[in-house]
Structure 1
Amino acid sequence: MFGGDITGRHEQLKAEVREFAETEVAPRVAHMEATGAVEHDLAWEIARRGWIGITIDPAYGGMGAGHVAKVLLIEELARVCGAMGAAAQASQLPVAMIDNFGSEDQRRRWLPPIAAGDVMPTIDVTEEVSGSQLGGMQGRARRHRGGWVLNAAKTHVGNSHIANLHCVVARTADSGPGSLSAFLVESDREGVSPLRPPVPAMALRGFSFGTVVFGDVWVPEENLLGADGDGRDVADSASVLNGRANLGAVSLGVHRATVETTLAFAAARERYGKPLSELSSVQQRLGQMVSNMMTAQTVLYTAADMLDRGARCDGHLMNAKLVNYELGTASAKLGMEVHAASGLFTDRPIERCFRDAHAMFAPAGTSDVQRLRLARLALGTGQPEWSQLFAAPTRAAVPQEVG
């Protein structure tokens, strides 16, 4: 599948996640789809199983299983429910922010409870006025009483109404490369509040990605993540190193569900006295869907494996997000064509797969953003590669059997 080996550890994890997804998550999908209800207890159960801390070093209580294992985990959850795959990845993303830029005191304070499932972090960067353009954000933090006072409204926050630790990037200077800073803000601090109840969305129903408001929130100096002015780097490094692969894994899980449900439908549905799957026009679509999925899988797992081995791989991670979204939505369209009118009804899984596949366009950068970054990387005009700045082969890069 990729440069490294699938180990007994990976196979055991895959079996554990698949059993959880099929026995605990699958029975609730219909309710989530019908109501848009956020399944707080399922998200916290994922955390309590240690899966948010899958990449956290064992020295801090984490699994230390690496990025291949993380991708496998997200894919298996998203195969059954895109919303739960999205929930898992959203809280894994800020782990990289703390791990890469946190002081040793911050790592020891926050990584063990995240690994234990007592703390669920999320990343609060996007604003309504600026979208993916970090330089356009208006949320501000100013020094006050030995700390900072934060005022910001962050939108599209993954696990917005579930998380109890927010990794917030805000403006601390008017302009320049060091004008943004990052802060760790506990959800129970005075002035922290979701703006409104979660709003049901077109896709990923059951996943909370809403607005969090920080109104005159005092944050102590020790909660500054990295140095004053590091905010852009904190956000960008986490988005490249974790966000691209994470969202690619959600896409791949939904992609796999798309292929599986379409194959099953084509084999069961009869036309002209024989299975739909025997029609050459249908076989052409099925074959293309399988090819799309195999390509997407290889691109994603190769990038994750390179990251585990400490290789230069920023471009591969960007491409993994791009390819998995583009091929996932292409397969979703083909799946709808095979289902024809039957695919329009909400009792067919393909209808949900079609919606969930398209939800992966914007997070961690649209396809246009990925192409732009890839072009700049190839031209040598992009930023330094984060995979080299934080290159550190994980323990998971060495094949290990479960003892």
Structure 2
Amino acid sequence: MSDDHLAERHHQLRAQVRQFAESRVAPRVPDMERTSVVETELASAVAQRGWIGVTIDKAYGGMGAGHLAKTIIIEELSRVSGAMGAIAQASQLGVAKIIHFGNEQQKQHWLPQIAAGSCLPTIAVTEPEAGSHVLGMQMTARLKGDHYVLNGRKQYVGNSHIGDLHGVVARTGQGSQGLTAFLVEADRPGLTLAPHTPHLGLHGFSFGELHFTNCRIPMANRLGLEGQGLDVAYSSSVLYGRPNLTAVALGIHQAILEQTIRFTRERIRYGSQLHNLLNIKVKVGQLHSRVMTARLAAYHAAHLLDTGAACDAELMNAKVTNVELALDSARAAMEIHAAAGLHGDAPLSRYLRDAHHIFAPAGTSDVQWLRLADFALGQHKDQWSQRLSTAPTPPALAVDGERA
């Protein structure tokens, strides 16, 4: 599915998000880059426009607009600021666990708050000693009376410092059936945050550590059944993590192309614009081709997810294609910019740093290729995209950020 084949409501949504990103986000980027302070004001502004609730059903106050609309929102924010795209995708990722595993009481309580922008959810799975190996996690949740007591650490939690509700997976027993998920409010006693530390890129975004010390969680905060934690973790990663990160990479990739076109038009060499040199023009054509290919993979996978089709392979392919092609384009663009791209405050420097942050979450490229090999060899198991599909029918989207 190309940009030309999007529905009118998607074009309207893109225009809304682009106007917001260029008018509200772009002026803040220099300060975000200079200070690396976690951006809270813009995160709140994004949430209040209803965009975190893009996949939440209208019955709970959400947009009910689906995954393709979600992709466009993240893409357009990331085109201006990878950090803002990451903030949006991390909280939209946190929505998945409640949609697919929350009971009706939990949905009624939390989803309207998320849709209204008053609650930012997160997902907390990764641990220092286990990385993305979910079955290797060591954090424990022990049932004592009518409460669970959580002890352990989670790291690389997207929106760690601005999240209001953390979806935490902890060990309640042995093996793959010994993991359970919980909803943990950010102000819950026993939960503390490690100080925010700047990283290579995505300045303004927080993905830090949560520390749990005898943190008591009522049974009502358990998400799904005891032993379903692995399902919660995997479904969130497959159905939201991969397409969300795909969209961040796509937005950064589009920004790389646009910046390179501007540079080759403005830079004069041998009495003519830089892009008139044939070797430079070829590189610009390659950049354009990569962006087109990446967008087709991203939109196609999101569209299939919206229709309820089995599309785990397409989601994996979209993620690995977008990440790898964005990194390839970042390097090619740096070659075109030469020394001009090496300044710390150069836009291309930011795009390159931000793009590297999308490689590891929801599975590195090697992980995606291994899983794709399973599909090619007929060794794959059940598909999450089909098991948890709701196949919503997205409504029309009104202009100016209002939900129809």
TM-score bracket for the superposition, by shorter chain length? over 0.9
- 2:197 alignment partner, one of 196, 199, 219: 199
Instruction: Tell me, yes or no, if the aligned pair for 1:252 and 1:297 is still in contact at 8 Å.
Output: yes
Please, which moves more after superposition, 64-73 or 99-108?
99-108
TM-aligned CA deviation for residue 284 of structure 1: 1.1
The whole-number CA distance in structure 1 between the counterparts of 2:221 and 2:4 is 37
Rounded to whole Å, the distance in 1 between the matches of 2:222 and 2:380 is 27
Question: How many angstroms apart in 2 are the aligned matches of 1:195 and 1:391?
Answer: 36
- State whether residues 26 and 80 of structure 2, in contact with CA within 8 Å, keep that contact through their aligned partners in structure 1: yes
Query: Separation in 2 of the partners of 1:241 and 1:309?
Result: 13
**Does structure 2 conserve the Cα–Cα contact (< 8 Å) formed by 1:7 and 1:401?**
no
* CA displacement, residues 284-320 of structure 1 (integer Å, 9 cap, x when unaligned): 1111110000000000000000001111101100111
- What is the 5 A alignment of 1:198-277? 198-277=196-275
How far, CA to CA, are the matches of 2:189 and 2:145 in structure 1? 15
State the Cα distance separating 1:338 from its structure 2 match: 0.5
| TM-superposition CA deviations, 1:200-243 (whole Å, max 9, x none) | 11110110111111111111111111110000111101100111
Cα distance in 2, alignment partners of residues 323 and 375 from structure 1:
15
| 1:24-76 residue CA offsets vs partner (Å, 9 max, x unmatched) | 11011011111111111111111111110000000010000110100000000
Amino acid at match of 2:109: R
Q: Structure 2: which amino acid aligns with 1:132?
A: S
The answer (yes or no) to whether the contact 2:2–2:295 under 8 Å persists in 1 is no
* Residues 168-215 of structure 1: CA deviation (Å, up to 9, x unaligned): 001111x2220111000001110111022x101111011011111111
Unmatched 5+ stretches in structure 2: 399-403
Report deviation, 1:131. 0.5
Separation (CA, whole Å) in 2 of partners of 1:383 and 1:183 = 26
Aligned-partner residue type, residue 368 of structure 2: Q
5+ residue gaps, structure 1: none
Q: How many percent identity over aligned positions?
A: 53
Distance 2:4 2:222 in 1: 37
**Residue 148 in structure 1 maps to residue 148 in structure 2:** yes
Q: Which residue of 1 aligns with 2:390?
A: 392
Give the aligned partner of residue 305 of structure 1. Answer: 303
Residue number in structure 2 paired with 1:48 = 48
Aligned to 1:123: 123
What's the counterpart of residue 7 of structure 2?
7
Equivalence map 1:33-72=2 (5 Å): 33-72=33-72
Aligned to 1:176: 175
Q: Distance in 2 between matches of 1:4 and 1:288?
A: 20
Please say if residues 13 and 397 of structure 2, whose CA atoms lie closer than 8 Å, have aligned partners that are also in contact: no
Shift of 1:4: 10
TM-score, normalised via structure 1 length: 0.97
CA distance in 2, matches of 1:3, 1:315: 22
TM-score by length of 2: 0.96
Aligned to 1:292: 290
> Is the Cα–Cα contact under 8 Å of residues 80 and 257 in structure 1 kept in the other structure?
yes
Confirm whether residue 83 of structure 1 aligns to residue 67 of structure 2.
no
Shift of 1:382: 3.0
Q: Hey, what does 1:357 align to over in structure 2?
A: 355
Paired letter, 2:179 = L
After superposition, the CA RMSD in angstroms is 1.4
Letter in 2 for 1:190: P
1:14 maps to a residue whose letter is R
- Aligned partners of 1:50 and 1:394: how far apart in 2? 17
- Cα distance in 2 between the residues matched to 1:3 and 1:378: 29
Query: Which residue pairs with 1:375 in the alignment?
Result: 373
Q: Deviations over 1:71-105 (max 9, x none)?
A: 00000000000000000000001211111111111
Paired letter, 1:271: R
